[in-house]
Structure 1
Amino acid sequence: MTVPAEPEQPRPEQATNLVPVPSVAKVWNALLGGKDSRAVERELVERIRATKPDIADLANSVHRYKQRVADHLVRSARIDQFVDCGPGYPRLGENTHDIVQKFNLEARVLYVDQNPEVLAHGRALLAVNNRIGVLDADPNDLAMIREHQGSRAVIDWDRPVGVISTMPLVFADPERVDPAKTVQGWIPHLAVGSHLALGFFAVADGLETVAATIGAMFCSELHGGRFLPIPDIEAVFGELDLVGPGVALCDEWPPDLDEIEVGLNSIRRCAVAGVARVREPSHHTPSPPDSRNTHGYTIAE
């Protein structure tokens, strides 16, 4: 299903002159070994590799987590509709609908992105049946996504939804988007039983200098790509309970995954994730207000 396109709006990553501006989606595609990148993205990747030769492992850990968590949600949580925020370029057989519709043919998937080329590829390669949609919208604005008539053609927002976001919060402009406030703002728009599967770059012990250097390169060229301390990532979920191991390595998801050895100095230790489930609002006497969770919702296993 192809969601009608919105009027074209200026994109942050579009060049305002003849100098090309690196695209987050193309850089990520290059890190994953894809071909949908230009010289400007490949040059940035090579500069990062000069600092950390195994940088591609970071992207691959996040990418594999996204596949495994989609499988976990459709099989174990019995989620049958998904919103994939910032999916990037399609990869044959590795997209969210490929994973979830393999288990449940009736599962519905809405892909949300703002990159014009990602949208074009998505509409050509992802919308292969009427249970899949591609929407041009801000992947960090779930309220707008929910209200868009195109999303309602795919997603029944009165039922549980699996929201998967591994890149938009990471690569959002830190001056415009606060991950904790953004995620807490999502909760009232989700039905009880919905799941959030989020990915982040973390400042891992022993890799502080590398994380700072790569994060600075990302932010300088892509206006995002922050590496956050683990306490800041945990704060994204506020006082809410997390499913499974909590905020953990992407390589440790799902919880029943066989143990994976992650090298002491591997950049893979900077790829972390958390999964949470929305439940009924609490009705007990409220605690003093907490700026991280002002909506009265909690998340639990």
Structure 2
Amino acid sequence: MELRQLQYFVKVAQKEHVTQAAEELHVAQSAVSRQIHQLEEELGVNLFMQKGRNLQLTPVGQLFCKRVEGIMKDLDRAVIEIHEFLDPEQGEIRIGFPHSLGIHLIPSVVAEFRKNYPNVKFRFKQGMFPTLIRDVISAEVDLAFVSPFPERHDQVGGDVVLTEELFAILPPNHPLAGEKSIKLEQLKDERFVLFSKGYSLRPIVWHACLEAGFTPKIAFEGEETDTIRGLVAAGMGVSLLPEMALFQTNPLQPARVSITEPKVTRSIGLIHRADEKLPPVAQAFRTFLLQYFGLGPAAQPTKDSTPSRS
């Protein structure tokens, strides 16, 4: 069994067509067909079956493909790690994060890190909490910011890097918009604009309202902080958002008011696969981030300066 056979097999499985696979691989169609045939002969099974003009994996082909894709992913990662070991400053960092951190935090830390590592590349992936956990476990990303921090998880480890206060956001003409602070119970009769189910900020807001003695009445649901903020600013309801989600991106902005009772916060963690060594460039970035948030070791992750939070 040759590596080329596995590469051709995976490509045909993805394209479900030999001609399209051959075009993407820049080889003759006959070469692809021959390699697939040899692979099937060696395994003693049919990996594909005809479905109209396309090919479809057989049940055993699906099982084999899943394993081969994992092997190919590990092989690709091994090649990248070798290159990073030879020159960590030329590597790529794959990092995941929730949308609310993409407005200010991620651009800030990446820009600061690249002052000392200008040739390092970044691959970004946004997602919800369960998606980010899954991406870390499956090695789709090296590191991920998540909220809340998973205190007990067998497959991921990490650190709480930040605890962030949530503010009440209100329409500009709301009677409480001019207050410096309020109690959350003062919003018990309001209609709330909340994140959709599956987003980590939703249960934080929901449980805070229950702690304040009421169940929030939902007016609208959204999937991005810009949407939540815009709907509140337009008078569609009230909500709670962390400070990092309140950076102005358009002229229409809600009022921001501190909440004194109960105090509402969210924890933000930086996670990685447990019991697994990070690639050198990803480890350099992790060390930098821990220092950035005041948690890092004495060793300097950069060549000539210590980063500061901004």
Indicate whether the TM-score tops 0.5: no
Q: Counting strand residues as a fraction of each chain, which structure ranks higher?
A: 2
The two structures have a TM-score, normalised by structure 1, of 0.28
Larger Rg: 2
Of structures 1 and 2, the one scoring higher in RCO (CA 8 A, sep 6+) is 2
Q: Counting helix residues as a fraction of each chain, which structure ranks higher?
A: 2
